[in-house]
Amino acid sequence: MTKPPVLILGARSDIGKAVAHKFAALGHPVQLAARNASNLEADKTDMELRYGVSVSLHDFDALATDSHEAFVAELPELPRVAVCAVGLMGQQAENERDVAAAARVMRSNYEGPTSILAILANRFEDRGSGTIVGISSVAGDRGRATNYVYGSAKAGFTAFLSGLRNRLSKRGVHVVTVLPGFVATQMTEGMDLPTKLTAEPNEVADAIARAVERKKDVIYVRPIWRLIMLIIRNIPERVFKKTKI
């Protein structure tokens, strides 16, 4: 039996590529969506040869929100699973001083992802089936001085996914919120990350595939992050504002 297609938004990212390989290995046709998607031709050929599935390339710009309706309409087939791996961390120091840089981070992590997922959600709802996976961040669990621009956008994205899940839970559409914690990717390259708290892209991909199969709602890729963020969320504000975390 042919398995349904999986759409990867932000397919050029390390996590996006890992997720694409995971679902292709499970026998799913994969739709890779990214800016200048033709540059992913080598990845397409590799997956087709390695896994024996069809792989298609689709130009997608998360920030060009006026193109999102047409993007979905032009897909060769409405996917059964859509995974949004779009994101941009930026530099907090730059974001504090450059309004345009901050806006790009906020748009990349909230406006763009919510725009495309809202459209897909409506299509999935009309069909009565499908799974939406949004990769958010533990940074959205509480604003911290070290990354509050990025964190605030992820907080909004997490809230959006929660509301979408609440709205669609009785319409046959499943929504998964993924909170990876630290991940060893190009985006975090050069950062001094604690090994025990840092996942690999393949680890994130495995967790996403399990969540889709088991219909999980919210997952922390490494469970220790659930405890860490519980503690951070419950630090009294008068104490928290004096911390450097």
Active site residue 110: no
Asked whether 7 and 37 are in contact (CB, 8 A), the reply is no
DSSP-assigned letter for residue 77: S
How far is 63 from 172, CA to CA, in rounded Å? 29
**Partner residues linked to 41 by β-bridges:** none
The catalytic position among 51, 110, 148, 150 is 150
Q: Which two tokens stand for residue 152?
A: 């605030």
How far is the CA of 15 from the CAs of 29, 69, 84, 86, 100, in angstroms? 18, 25, 10, 9, 26
Task: Decide: 110 and 95 in contact? Cβ < 8 Å.
Answer: no
Rounded CA separation 89/53 (Å): 32
Catalytic residues: 150
